[in-house]
């Protein structure tokens, strides 16, 4: 029996899903696989685990597992459910990539989809679980898709063992044909229970004209208008990323300030400090304690969890710094004519995005201060994962920021594009949860009708080498036959197998027979022993290869550090930010000089220097750990504290993974790691080349220089266009003849990042 508080009980009874409890439980009792569709906010994530718990689905012989595509959701939903059920987090727990609070008593476990995938590698039948819920299936994240494919096979196997496993797929949209009309996936069509949305009508207003590019400014004007002219009710604004969110928050706070009592005022001030992403040392310490590293307690999870929002937000810090977001500090000029600061109409403005600290995210669930109107400025996270109460007006810029990959070259770039019709409708729906609402679309209905109907599943949009390696490690040899809800394009599969063969992770097929035979054979190569080792490292196959080669010359601690840094990415703070005062400008200049100096020191001299940016990463992490990895050290040396903490965690995780494969390595994360010797650096460069062998570039020779655009440029085997060393690279000025790069990112030009020099033969 669950002992809920009266307030919780009352709130629950208002949720549409409660009316369907019996229908849902009957469907689950009678079918191995059930699909539940219900609008965001109908109660799927918080209530279905409770239904199952109360129906006895968590017992001594199995627990309830729920997967989320976002870390934020896994953590916050486990806390919410624990609170609703009045149970400790020892019973309702979560596990995400680096951390968790799972215990022997855990009965309901929220986790990221990546965590469950890794568990399948250890125990294919998932015997620990009685139910698996795949949440947010409509998002079609890569891991969600793979899990559904795998579970479609695991469920019947468990049935045969007389230990049935229930699979529940939950979606915020009704578009579930990829799961239901897919005989390869589920030969018996699973029933789909629809939860009545109890949605109030939302009136959609289109702009007559679509702003050419300044959708942020258009958002600002629209919010001002709504706030001045329309009756009470919360507002939710959709923008594409963190910097835009903060910029709009500032402008709105300036336009509609509200005076609060002292304590609230202090809190508000702290928040704007956070927004500048400058560390306020004392605070950071309070809110972000350094993680304790318990090496025995790491569950090793697979390759990076595909939390695209986080990645997009990370990327933005950089753009923001280059000055695309100058209106952050426009001062009063940021206000349009006639938009004078007006404190008679207080607006309570809150940002919301994936990377925001959890305690800040929690603010949006609380009622706004008396006499104010709530205005949440959010990225995509507010579209389906989190439900904000009391929203009556939605302002939708219609855009979304996504990472795009070139299918052949793997070159990636973040782009802001129009969203899909399905997403726009989800956003509009946020306005009608508690009463009839309005959605203001800052684009015309003609533009809307040109949107694609649905966003294509992630698996069709990105390289799949990491997934293929994980699948091969599960002995799925013929990946083409795998029951994907939507298969990745054949070119992507072929490119992945090609890369994995080149890395030695797959056994090369015999070169006999026709070309066609060879192509087919290539698509079903078994994994090699090296591949098995690589698959046990939770990083991209290229980096896993580097780790697998690093035992010689005691290089493991160094390659683990480099690989961690390359996986976490964007270690360095950018600081070409518009300064506020002259004094500030001077300070910034001083800091910049100091930071560049540090990077040159970390890059080393002579042979050390040739390791290039990877040597800088190694030096930066080493120095930071030596100093205790404090926010102060990071601030003083231009390092991103969050990145450093994440690198520390990943180092711990990789160290555990290495030790479990070769116990005689006896590795530990040494905070006082000595710099590598010259021999080690030479060897590290070979290792890097082995992992990034297909990422080589050669400097254009003077005699080949026909066109000015090739000045200082490099040529790669894959691209026709010139690529350049990124200006932030320590090798930017040296221009070695041959380099390997970690990745090419396209902004104004194609830039190589994470560059090392290689010997010319
Ligand atoms: P769904 O998964 O169908 O989108 P949820 O189960 O996430 O719905 O949410 C159900 C309700 O619980 C929503 O109305 C939401 O406002 C409320 N809720 C969710 N998390 C919290 C929280 N942390 N604090 C307060 N209310 C919450
Ligand atoms: Mg949900």
More confident: 583 or 495: 495
Span 400-429, average pLDDT: 85
**Contact assessment for residue 477 and residue 452, using Cβ atoms and an 8 Å cutoff:** no
* Least confident interval from 95-99, 318-322, 511-515, 689-693: 318-322
Write down the ipTM of this complex. 0.98
User: What confidence score (pLDDT) does residue 569 get?
Assistant: 84
**Residue 634 in tokens:** 């990071």
> In this predicted model, what pLDDT tens digit does every residue of 177-199 receive, in sequence order?
999 999 999 999 999 999 987 77
> In this predicted model, what pLDDT tens digit does every residue of 631-654 receive, in sequence order?
999 989 999 888 899 899 899 989
More confident: 728 or 34: 34
Q: Is the CB of 217 inside a 6 Å radius of any atom of ligand 1?
A: no
Ligand 1 atom at minimal distance to the Cα of residue 47: 6
Q: Is the CB of 361 inside a 6 Å radius of any atom of ligand 1?
A: no
SS (H, E, C) 446-512: HHHHHCCCCCCCHHHCCCCHHHHHHHHHCCCCCHHHCCCCCCCCHHHHHHHHHHHHHCCCECCCCCC
Query: Is 335's pLDDT higher than 70?
Result: no
User: What confidence score (pLDDT) does residue 310 get?
Assistant: 61
Alpha-carbon 50 to chain mean position: 27
Average pLDDT, the chain: 85
> In this predicted model, what pLDDT tens digit does every residue of 450-466 receive, in sequence order?
999 998 999 999 889 99
Query: Is 212's pLDDT higher than 90?
Result: no
Helix (DSSP H) and strand (DSSP E) numbers for the chain: 28, 20
Query: Is 268's pLDDT higher than 70?
Result: no
Q: Where are the alpha helices (DSSP H) in 141-275?
A: 142-160, 177-180, 215-229, 242-255, 262-275
User: What confidence score (pLDDT) does residue 308 get?
Assistant: 60
Query: Is 254's pLDDT higher than 70?
Result: yes
Q: Give the confidence band of 328 by pLDDT, cuts at 50, 70, 90.
A: very low
Query: Is 302's pLDDT higher than 50?
Result: no
- What is the C-alpha separation between 30 and 45, in angstroms, rounded? 21
Q: Give the confidence band of 297 by pLDDT, cuts at 50, 70, 90.
A: very low
The three-state secondary structure class of 194 is strand
User: What confidence score (pLDDT) does residue 398 get?
Assistant: 95
- What is the C-alpha separation between 171 and 174, in angstroms, rounded? 7
Nearest ligand by distance to the CA of 80 = 1
> Which helix (H) or strand (E) covers residue 437, if one does?
strand 437-441
- What is the C-alpha separation between 322 and 523, in angstroms, rounded? 43
Q: Is the CB of 38 inside a 6 Å radius of any atom of ligand 1?
A: yes
> What pTM was computed for the model?
0.80
Burial class of 319 by CB neighbour count within 10 A (0 to 12, 13 to 18, 19+)? middle
> Which helix (H) or strand (E) covers residue 350, if one does?
strand 347-352
**Contact assessment for residue 731 and residue 725, using Cβ atoms and an 8 Å cutoff:** yes
User: What confidence score (pLDDT) does residue 301 get?
Assistant: 34
Q: Is the CB of 171 inside a 6 Å radius of any atom of ligand 1?
A: no
Where is mean pLDDT largest: 24-28, 76-80, 244-248, 402-406? 24-28
708 CA to centre of ligand 1 in angstroms: 57
**Residue 98 in tokens:** 């680096």
Nearest ligand by distance to the CA of 15 = 1
Query: Is 261's pLDDT higher than 50?
Result: no
Ligand 1 atom at minimal distance to the Cα of residue 362: 23
Nearest ligand by distance to the CA of 361 = 1
- What is the C-alpha separation between 713 and 726, in angstroms, rounded? 11
Query: Is 319's pLDDT higher than 60?
Result: no
The three-state secondary structure class of 276 is coil
Residue 458, φ and ψ in degrees, nearest 5 = -55, -35
- What is the separation, in whole angstroms, between the first and last Cα of the chain? 73
More confident: 121 or 358: 121
Q: Is the CB of 73 inside a 6 Å radius of any atom of ligand 1?
A: no
Q: Is the CB of 564 inside a 6 Å radius of any atom of ligand 1?
A: no
384 CA to centre of ligand 2 in angstroms: 7
**Residue 520 in tokens:** 């087919």
The position carrying tokens 């013929």 is 478
Name the closest-CA residue to atom 20, ligand 1: 80
Query: Is 496's pLDDT higher than 50?
Result: yes
Distances in Å between the Cα of 645 and the Cα atoms of 49, 280, 759 are 32, 16, 34
607 CA to centre of ligand 2 in angstroms: 53
Query: Is 584's pLDDT higher than 60?
Result: yes
Nearest ligand by distance to the CA of 47 = 1
Alpha-carbon 533 to chain mean position: 25
Query: Is 697's pLDDT higher than 90?
Result: yes
Nearest ligand by distance to the CA of 41 = 1
Q: Is the CB of 254 inside a 6 Å radius of any atom of ligand 1?
A: no
47 CA to centre of ligand 2 in angstroms: 9
Distances in Å between the Cα of 701 and the Cα atoms of 649, 696, 697, 705 are 43, 16, 12, 6
Q: Is the CB of 476 inside a 6 Å radius of any atom of ligand 1?
A: no
Ligand 1 atom at minimal distance to the Cα of residue 79: 23
More confident: 5 or 261: 5
More confident: 307 or 358: 358
> In this predicted model, what pLDDT tens digit does every residue of 520-571 receive, in sequence order?
666 788 999 999 999 989 899 999 999 999 988 899 999 999 999 999 888 8
* Least confident interval from 87-91, 158-162, 342-346, 672-676: 342-346
What residues contact 672, with CB distance under 8 A and at least 6 apart? Answer: 625, 626
Residue 313, φ and ψ in degrees, nearest 5 = -70, -40
User: What confidence score (pLDDT) does residue 760 get?
Assistant: 57
Ligand 1 atom at minimal distance to the Cα of residue 135: 2
Among 82, 94, 15, 28, CA closest to 50: 82
User: What confidence score (pLDDT) does residue 162 get?
Assistant: 86
Name the closest-CA residue to atom 24, ligand 1: 365
Q: Give the confidence band of 314 by pLDDT, cuts at 50, 70, 90.
A: low
Query: Is 273's pLDDT higher than 80?
Result: no
Q: Is the CB of 43 inside a 6 Å radius of any atom of ligand 1?
A: yes
User: What confidence score (pLDDT) does residue 327 get?
Assistant: 31
What residues contact 384, with CB distance under 8 A and at least 6 apart? Answer: 40, 136, 138, 139, 172, 426
Span 383-387, average pLDDT: 78
Query: Is 515's pLDDT higher than 50?
Result: yes
User: What confidence score (pLDDT) does residue 387 get?
Assistant: 79
Ligand 1 site-directed mutation target among 387, 434, 435, most atoms within 8 Å of CB: 387
User: What confidence score (pLDDT) does residue 369 get?
Assistant: 92
Name the closest-CA residue to atom 7, ligand 1: 45
User: What confidence score (pLDDT) does residue 311 get?
Assistant: 64
User: What confidence score (pLDDT) does residue 161 get?
Assistant: 85
Instruction: Specify which residues 364 forms β-bridges with.
Output: none
Q: Is the CB of 45 inside a 6 Å radius of any atom of ligand 1?
A: yes
User: What confidence score (pLDDT) does residue 420 get?
Assistant: 94
**Residue 26 in tokens:** 């009957």
């Amino acid at each position: 029996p669950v002992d809920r508080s009266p307030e919780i009980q009352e709130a629950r009874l208002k949720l549409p899903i409660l009316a369907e409890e019996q229908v849902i439980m009957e469907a689950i009792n009678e079918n191995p696989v059930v699909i539940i569709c219900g609008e965001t906010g109908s109660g799927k994530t918080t209530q279905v685990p409770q239904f199952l718990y109360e129906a006895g689905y968590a017992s001594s012989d199995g627990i309830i597992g729920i997967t989320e595509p976002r870390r934020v959701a896994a953590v916050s939903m486990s806390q919410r459910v624990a609170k609703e059920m009045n149970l400790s987090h020892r019973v309702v727990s979560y596990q995400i990539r680096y951390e968790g609070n799972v215990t022997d008593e855990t009965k309901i476990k929220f986790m990221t989809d990546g965590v469950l995938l890794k568990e399948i590698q250890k125990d294919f039948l998932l015997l620990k679980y009685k139910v698996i819920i795949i949440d947010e299936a409509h998002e079609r994240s890569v891991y969600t898709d793979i899990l559904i494919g795998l579970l479609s096979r695991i469920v019947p196997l468990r049935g045969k063992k007389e230990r049935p496993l229930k699979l529940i797929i939950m979606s915020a949209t009704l578009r579930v044909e990829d799961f239901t009309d897919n005989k390869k996936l589920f030969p018996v069509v699973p029933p789909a229970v629809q939860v009545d949305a109890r949605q109030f009508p939302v009136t959609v207003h289109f702009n007559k004209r679509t702003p050419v590019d300044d959708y942020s400014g258009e958002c600002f004007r629209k919010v001002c208008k709504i706030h001045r002219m329309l009756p009470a009710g919360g507002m939710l604004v959709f923008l594409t990323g963190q910097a835009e969110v903060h910029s709009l928050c500032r402008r709105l706070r300036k336009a509609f300030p509200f005076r609060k009592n002292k304590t609230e005022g202090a809190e508000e001030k702290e928040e704007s400090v956070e927004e500048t992403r400058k560390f306020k040392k004392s605070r950071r310490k309070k809110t972000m304690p350094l993680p304790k590293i318990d090496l025995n307690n790491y569950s090793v999870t697979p390759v990076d969890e595909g939390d695209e929002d986080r990645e997009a937000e990370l990327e933005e810090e950089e753009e923001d710094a280059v000055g695309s977001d100058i209106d952050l500090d426009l001062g009063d000029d940021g206000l349009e004519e006639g938009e004078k600061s007006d404190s008679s109409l207080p607006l309570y403005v809150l940002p919301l995005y994936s990377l925001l600290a959890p305690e800040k995210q929690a603010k949006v669930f609380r009622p706004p201060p008396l006499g104010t109107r709530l205005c949440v400025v959010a990225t995509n996270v507010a579209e389906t994962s989190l439900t904000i109460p009391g929203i009556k007006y939605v302002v939708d810029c219609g855009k979304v920021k996504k990472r795009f990959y070139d299918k052949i070259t793997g070159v990636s770039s973040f782009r802001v594009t129009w969203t899909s019709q399905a997403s726009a409708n989800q956003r509009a729906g946020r306005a009608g949860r508690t009463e009839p609402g309005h959605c203001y679309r800052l684009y015309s209905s003609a533009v809307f009708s040109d949107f694609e109907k649905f966003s294509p599943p992630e698996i069709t949009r990105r390289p799949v080498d990491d997934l293929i390696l994980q699948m091969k490690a599960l002995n799925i040899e013929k990946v083409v036959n795998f029951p994907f809800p939507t298969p990745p394009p054949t070119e992507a599969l072929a490119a992945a197998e090609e890369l994995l063969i080149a890395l030695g992770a797959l056994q090369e097929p015999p070169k006999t027979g026709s070309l066609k035979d060879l192509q087919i054979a290539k698509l079903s190569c078994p994994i090699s022993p090296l591949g098995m080792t690589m698959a046990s490292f939770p990083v991209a196959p290229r980096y896993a290869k580097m780790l697998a080669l690093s035992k010689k010359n005691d290089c493991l601690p160094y390659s683990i550090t480099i690989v961690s840094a390359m996986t976490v990415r964007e270690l360095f703070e950018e600081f070409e930010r518009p300064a506020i005062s002259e004094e500030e400008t001077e300070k910034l200049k001083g800091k910049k000089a100091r930071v560049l100096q540090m990077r040159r020191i970390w890059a080393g001299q002579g042979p050390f220097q040739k390791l290039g940016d990877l040597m800088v990463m190694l030096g930066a992490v080493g120095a930071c750990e030596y100093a205790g990895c404090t926010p102060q050290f990071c601030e003083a040396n231009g390092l991103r504290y969050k990145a450093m903490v994440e690198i520390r965690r990943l180092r711990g995780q990789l160290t555990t993974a290495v030790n479990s494969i070769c116990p005689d390595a006896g590795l530990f994360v040494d905070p006082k790691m000595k710099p590598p010797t010259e021999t080690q650096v030479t060897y590290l460069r070979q290792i890097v080349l082995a992992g990034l062998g297909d990422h080589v570039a050669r400097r254009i020779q003077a005699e080949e220089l026909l066109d000015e655009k090739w000045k200082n440029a490099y040529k790669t085997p894959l691209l026709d266009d010139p690529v350049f060393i990124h200006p932030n690279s320590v090798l930017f000025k040296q221009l070695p003849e041959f380099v390997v790069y970690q990745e090419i990112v396209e902004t104004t030009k194609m830039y190589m990042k994470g560059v090392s020099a290689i010997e010319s033969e």
